[in-house]
Amino acid sequence: MQYWLVKTEPEAFSWQDMVAQKRAVWDGVRNYTARNNLKAMALNDIVLIYHSVTDKCVVGLGRVDALAYQDPTTDDERWVAVDIVPVTELPKPVTLAQIKAEPALADLPLIKQSRLSVMPISEDAFKLIVEMGKG
């Protein structure tokens, strides 16, 4: 199993939207590294859902429910989407400031490649962020 972090702008599509729809098509990615990360996702991989721009925090956990397929927002075959289903909301959102303040997370792509919207994270980083989100 692999672990991932995906970013979404809550004004466009929030954790609450994902829960209400019971599934999200993770589309619209137009960065080659992020696209390659989508292609590397496997069924049942766990995903941290991060609200970017305004909230800047990890808010919930999702699970990959469909492997990479043609992004429905474009006819350009270079771009893919995956389906993610919500699993659970974190009791307490984990802010970017908290993540940056944690030495064990210093190498997290969220910090090192701040503009990347889909990124792998280690199992240890995943477990630490979830622990931080328990409050």
CB-based contact 95:133 (threshold 8 Å): no
β-sheet with 46-51: strand ranges across: 24-26, 80-95, 57-70, 46-51, 3-8, 118-121
Helix (H, G, I), strand (E, B) or coil at 99: helix
Asked whether the beta carbons of 92 and 107 are under 8 A apart, the reply is no
Summarize pLDDT for 19-78 with one digit per residue, the tens: 999 999 999 999 999 999 999 999 999 999 999 999 999 999 999 999 999 999 999 999
The beta-strand segments (E) located in the chain are 3-8, 24-26, 46-51, 57-70, 80-95, 118-121
Q: Quick one: pLDDT at residue 116? A: 94
Instruction: Identify the bridge partners of residue 127 per DSSP, sorted by sequence position.
Output: none
Give the structural domain span for 94. Answer: 3-133
Instruction: Assign residue 38 the CATH number of its domain.
Output: 3.10.590.10
* Residue at 122: amino acid letter: S
Global pTM value: 0.96
**Cα–Cα distance measured from residue 100 to residue 59, given in angstroms and rounded to the nearest whole number:** 16
CA distance 125 to 15: 21
On the CB side of 102, CA atoms within 13 Å amount to 19
pLDDT tens digit string along 112-125?
998 999 999 999 99
**Number of domains making up the chain:** 1
